[in-house]
């Protein structure tokens, strides 16, 4: 029977962290749409996901799904995006020191 190696911590990288490195940021969209039964009334829907500014491919897919599958006609979409982490904020350490 082969000897077991000591437990090594997993080097799994969080998928959300990888998305942030790839340029995704938290995006919020306020979607105003007309109610199907009462087209003069507007309803608000808040959507939030990680997306890439300024083109917002994830939001565009969601809005395409909305127009294709849902009855409420879109009136207006307001988008806000926050860059939480940028690749240039990461730097490799030049040295490592221990105290005690």
Model confidence over 56-76: pLDDT tens digits? 999 999 999 999 999 999 999
Q: Which domain holds residue 45?
A: 15-86
What's the number of domains the chain is made of? 1
Residue 92 inside a domain? The answer is no
Residue 2 inside a domain? The answer is no
Model confidence over 15-48: pLDDT tens digits? 878 887 888 888 999 999 999 999 999 999 999 9
3-state secondary structure of 61: helix
Tokens representing 3 are 């000897």
Q: State residue 84's pLDDT score.
A: 46
Residue 99 inside a domain? The answer is no
Rama region for 95: left / alpha / beta (φ>0; ψ in -120 to 50; rest):
beta
Tokens representing 62 are 């969601």
Between 88 and 34, the more confident residue is 34
pLDDT bracket for residue 85 (50, 70, 90): very low
């Amino acid at each position: 029977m082969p000897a077991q190696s000591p437990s090594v911590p997993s080097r799994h990288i969080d998928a959300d962290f990888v998305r942030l490195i790839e340029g995704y940021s938290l995006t919020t969209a306020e979607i105003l749409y007309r109610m199907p039964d009462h087209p003069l009334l507007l309803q608000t829907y808040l959507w939030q996901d990680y997306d890439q500014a300024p083109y917002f491919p994830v939001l565009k897919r969601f809005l395409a799904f909305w127009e294709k599958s849902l009855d409420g006609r879109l009136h207006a979409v307001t988008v806000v995006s926050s860059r939480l982490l940028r690749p240039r904020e990461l730097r490799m350490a030049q040295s490592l020191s221990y105290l005690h």
